[in-house]
Structure 1
């Protein structure tokens, strides 16, 4: 029997982790189930290849982000090139982000990863302006900064800008994860793909640009 290389074992663990994290949740997934699904007999395989369960999860998300960045980075560069001195419009930024993220809906691997990443949007670091290590230096993080600039130009105070962007990422992640779940379960969505994306872009923009309200009495 041919021996499996380290790279092959690592890839098998990543694919198994995507499936188990998506099915059982980030908190509910068991490392032993990932190892078993990957066809590994060594219970320490995750620790050997990724250092820890958290390291495996980070690797899953780094791979998912790399696939999205391959679409997002050139699209964002094009939007910036077309924009004036004031910077890109918020709607264009939201459109680039959602369009790039929605490419993960094309196959089961991307759909599983959307279900996983939706559980982790609170770890982005937006509220403290300290990006999660997987986001540091990415086009995604640059887009977040440009979105904040657009909200500042619209007159929103800093605290509201950061909170709204963080919540908008949660909204986008939840919407895409729900769509992914429907595809994985074989359920026909209520809306076709183009309408889904267009409505999510418009809804996110409306949420971000809503006038600042006075405190409720």
Structure 2
């Protein structure tokens, strides 16, 4: 068994967590399974290296964002402040994770955490603070504000849009991992996701319906 010390052990635990959490869920995955898959003899290896389950999840998320930030940052630097283009940057960055099994597993994990971004309260999750992702979220919200959408609705819609994109990417990742042929090709899938998400964000403010609970 490998010793529970050093960056190599941390990386093994992160890789193991990606596999376990993608299948069993972020909250349902057993840490003992992560430790065993990483080849560690110490049952407290996760606590030793990451402090807690949350610390391990943050490490998985941070590693994934390092990869997607590298894709997102140059696209965002040249993107105009138009909603379809900004949503397109988000979708393109997320789609880069579809190119590897590791990325596909991370997409399945990220979808479970979409509501933890901090968008609704304008308080970024620590793994998002100061990143191109958070800049992108701010630019999308500013565009919605310029189009006249009230603050509560635009924050809720942005949070919902992240959930929609995350769920769509996670489902496509699941299909790729399981060898299932998707209904649409990749180009059409991504183009439709941009169009659908943009339409969600841009829907007219509705009148309040009194027949709804």
TM-score (norm 1): 0.94
Please report the RMSD computed on the Cα atoms of aligned residues, expressed in angstroms: 1.3
- Return the alpha-carbon distance in structure 2 between the equivalents of residues 31 and 4 of structure 1: 14
Matched, 1:158 2:155: no
Which contiguous aligned blocks of 4+ residues in structure 1 show a shift greater than 2 angstroms? Answer: 1-5
Q: When the two structures are aligned, how many residues end up with a matched partner?
A: 210
Kindly state the Cα deviation for residue 78 of structure 1 after the two structures are TM-superposed.
1.5
Kindly state the Cα deviation for residue 6 of structure 1 after the two structures are TM-superposed.
1.1
Kindly state the Cα deviation for residue 211 of structure 1 after the two structures are TM-superposed.
0.3
Gaps of 5+ in 1: none
User: 1:198 maps to which residue?
Assistant: 191
User: 1:20 maps to which residue?
Assistant: 20
Matched, 1:118 2:133: no
User: 1:184 maps to which residue?
Assistant: 177
Kindly state the Cα deviation for residue 104 of structure 1 after the two structures are TM-superposed.
0.2
- Return the alpha-carbon distance in structure 2 between the equivalents of residues 187 and 61 of structure 1: 26
- Return the alpha-carbon distance in structure 1 between the equivalents of residues 200 and 42 of structure 2: 49
1:213 to 199, 202, 206: 206
- Return the alpha-carbon distance in structure 2 between the equivalents of residues 180 and 3 of structure 1: 33
Secondary structure in 1 matching 2:120? helix
- Return the alpha-carbon distance in structure 2 between the equivalents of residues 3 and 120 of structure 1: 31
1:1-217 to structure 2, matched below 5 A, reads 6-79=6-79, 83=80, 88-217=81-210
**Partners of 2:3 and 2:40 within 8 A in 1:** no
Structure 2 CA distance for partners of 1:120 and 1:176, relative to 1, 3 Å: same
In the TM superposition, what whole-angstrom CA distance separates every residue of 1:31-57 from its partner, at most 9, and x where no partner exists?
A: 000000001111011111111111001
Gaps of 5+ in 2: none
TM-score (norm 2): 0.96
